[in-house]
A and B are shown apart, each in its own frame.
Chain A
Amino acid sequence: QSALTQPPSASGSPGQSVAISCTGTSSDVGAYDYVAWYRQYPGKAPKLIIYEVNKRPSGVPDRFSGSKSGNTASLTVSGLQGEDEADYYCSSHAGGNTWVFGGGTKLTVL
């Protein structure tokens, strides 16, 4: 049950695109399409923005997209806006109904 690996920080200017990676193993990210992404503002609860690798819940703008290749999943935020500045976390099923999160990435909009 080791945490997934995310870069501690990422940044981009308004209007640009930024990608955040989430690296696991063949026992979690590589084994299942149950990869999800969350956005968390300071002092607030996380919010689901991507599930099953690349699906968006109702109300999440299509500027947010997800993908997966092998043991690494990625979240891409296009057309960066100031409100996108937040912490982002990935999660994955890890077998036996256990779950694991990434360490989180702080996204800064320059």
Chain B
Amino acid sequence: EVQLVESGGGLVQPGGSLRLSCAASGFTFRGYYMNWVRQAPGKGLEWVAIIKGDGSEKVYVDSVRGRFTISRDNTKNSLSLQMNNLRVEDTAVYHCVRGSDGAFEIWGQGTMVTVSS
């Protein structure tokens, strides 16, 4: 069974840092682009970042570029998102998502990040 399980969310103060992780199973992890997609409470979906299967390409939405870093470890089938200088507006559920055929194909249940003083 294809599965994505996120962890690492929590409460952090503005300006703080947090590292999210995603454990993948049930498929050949290195063969897929992986993404982070977030959803603020009561709001819509927002694509955050994407990383190529071999890690050679990383792209970010403008609002997080320079603050967030996406990475992957294909030996451990894991995806990460290092989030620095967090802002109140980064508060959201963060989903780890497998990309395929120009779509967000498989979604994890998400991990909640709350940025508040």
Residue of B nearest to A32 (CB): B102
**Interchain Cβ contacts under 8 Å between A and B, 27 examples:** A1-B61, A1-B62, A34-B102, A45-B95, A46-B95, A46-B107, A48-B103, A48-B104, A48-B105, A48-B106, A51-B100, A51-B101, A52-B101, A52-B102, A55-B101, A89-B45, A91-B103, A97-B57, A99-B35, A99-B47, A101-B37, A101-B44, A101-B45, A101-B46, A101-B47, A102-B44, A104-B45
Asked if residues B103 and A52 are in contact (CB atoms below 8 Å), the reply is yes
Most chain B CB neighbours (cut-off 10 Å) among A44, A48, A57, A89: A48
Number of A-B contacts (CB under 8 A): 68
Question: How near does chain A come to B36, taking the closest CB pair, in angstroms?
Answer: 11
Report the interface size for chain B: residues with CB under 8 A from the other chain: 23
A33 to B101 CA separation, bound complex (whole angstroms)? 10
Q: Mark B46-57, 1 if CB is under 8 A from A, else 0.
A: 110010000001
Q: Known pairs A51-B102, A55-B101. 7 more at Cβ < 8 A?
A: A46-B95, A51-B105, A52-B101, A91-B103, A96-B59, A99-B50, A101-B46
Known: A46-B45, A98-B47, A100-B47. A36 touches B102 (CB 8 A): yes
Question: How near does chain A come to B109, taking the closest CB pair, in angstroms?
Answer: 5
Residue of B nearest to A90 (CB): B45
Question: How near does chain A come to B12, taking the closest CB pair, in angstroms?
Answer: 23
A36 to B99 CA separation, bound complex (whole angstroms)? 11
CB-CB contacts below 8 Å: A47-90 with B:
47-48, 51-52, 55, 57, 89
Residue of A nearest to B57 (CB): A97
